[in-house]
A and B are shown apart, each in its own frame.
Chain A
């Protein structure tokens, strides 16, 4: 290697070290905030899924979450919801691949595992105006009190206008791909968790 090559290698090494150091410093400086934001988005989704909480500030979200929800290894990845010291449901986090990007959310499940109490999302990047509408109350409200089927699919998303039977809700017109994927994610992850809990005699 001649001196020009040494200079190029040395220069690249120095400049990479300089910019990397700045980025690492900056990322470390904001890491606490980034993690807190992710945690807050999850906590908001849990409170929204159960639907009976009202809050105005982020601090209230933290307080309500800590007061009412706790993780218990006996219930796997679900958060246990207690109201006045009595078991009132489970917040089951779920995630999977949507049409464009991952869909992450929380399903509120009744204490006996027979019904959904609600549904909320904390990460959705589907098509605006179409798939992204799954976060809107008109869609989510359909899951409140939805009885899960005991055989076959636990729940189904049917096209708008269909007469619904047990375990069915209306999908969103024009958002077929998102709805198909959401249906699969919910069925798979709810079933896995419910089966595990029933096997262990927790439900």
Chain B
């Protein structure tokens, strides 16, 4: 298996968090972005799970890359991702049952999250385990930063709370925007975030 020239750490961090951010740049992992961002606490747990799964899956895929036949690499990647997702799911069920019930099927659906498979395929398969781990980690962090921002806006405007705690003004005088905690609210806020982030740094360079 080929190994590309290793990316410097600063570049891995910058790409994951901003330049190639999975949400507003690559538009990946949108299902969970819309589904879990109506509560900050749920979003935080989902983001932690996804970041851990991405980092550890990338590390494992990279570790096995010399032995994995190219024609079955995607099956192997799916197996590895599923392994870590099931571990996270079982940990939540055993040690945080309320959160497990609250997140419902979305933890299991990390298996199908394009970010995890995308990073395994694009980076981990051709880079050493260390950089692959950090690439997965910072992509997860880039995803988390955007999702948490969206969740703060949605929970605040929709319910007047932050992690369940009443916010001054928003919990008392604010006429709560119920649509913000409904799926369409996720679309609106996500669209605004993508628009704002792309306005700061447009990718398309005019020739």
The finding on whether chains A and B are genuine partners in a shared complex, rather than unrelated, reads yes
Chain A, interface SS category: helix
Q: With an 8 A cutoff between CB atoms, is A129 at the interface? A: yes
Q: Are B79 and A30 in contact, with the CB atoms below 8 A?
A: no
Chain B: minimal CB distance from A1 (Å): 13
Q: Binding site of B, secondary structure by majority: helix, strand, loop or mixed? A: helix
Say yes or no for B159: interface residue by CB 8 A criterion.
yes
A8 touches B181 (CB 8 A): no
What residues on A are CB-neighbors of B79 within 8 Å?
Answer: 15-16, 19
B69 and A123 form a contact (CB under 8 A)? no
- Contacts A37-B94, A129-B178 known; A23 to B72 CB distance under 8 Å? no
Bound form: Cα–Cα A79–B68 in Å: 55
- Please name the 10 residue pairs, one residue from A and one from B, whose CB atoms are nearest each other, closest first: A30-B94, A37-B97, A8-B69, A129-B181, A33-B94, A19-B83, A129-B159, A125-B104, A34-B93, A8-B72
> Within residues 1 to 44 of chain A, which ones have a CB less than 8 A from any CB in chain B?
4, 7-8, 11-12, 15-16, 19, 22-23, 26-27, 30, 33-34, 37-38, 40-41
Residue B109 interfacial (CB < 8 Å): no
Are B90 and A34 neighbours in the complex by a CB distance under 8 Å? yes
Q: Among A4, A129, A174, point to the contact of B69 (Cβ < 8 A).
A: A4
CB-defined contacts of B181 to chain A, threshold 8 Å: 127-130
Are the C-beta atoms of B182 and A30 separated by less than 8 Å?
A: no
Residues in B38-92 with C-beta less than 8 Å from chain A: 38-39, 42, 64, 67-69, 71-72, 75-76, 79-80, 83, 86-87, 90-91
User: With A and B bound together, what is the CA distance between A101 and B101 in angstroms?
Assistant: 10
**Interface size for chain A: under 10, 10 to 19, 20 to 34, or 35 or more residues?**
20 to 34
B interface residues, tally (CB under 8 Å): 32
Q: How far is the CA of A30 from the CA of B105 in the complex (A)?
A: 19
Contacts from B to A (Cβ < 8 Å): 38-39, 42, 64, 67-69, 71-72, 75-76, 79-80, 83, 86-87, 90-91, 93-95, 97, 101-102, 104-105, 158-159, 176, 178, 181-182
* CB atoms of A23 and B69 under 8 A apart: no
Other-chain residue from B97, B102, B104, B178 in contact with A41 (beta carbon distance below 8 A): B97
Q: Please measure, in the bound complex, the distance between the C-alpha atom of A23 and the C-alpha atom of B82, giving whole angstroms.
A: 10
Q: Pull 26 A–B residue pairs with CB atoms less than 8 Å apart, ordered by A.
A: A4-B69, A7-B69, A8-B71, A8-B72, A11-B67, A11-B69, A15-B76, A16-B79, A22-B83, A23-B90, A26-B90, A27-B86, A30-B90, A34-B94, A37-B94, A41-B97, A41-B101, A101-B104, A101-B105, A125-B101, A127-B38, A128-B39, A129-B178, A129-B181, A130-B178, A130-B182
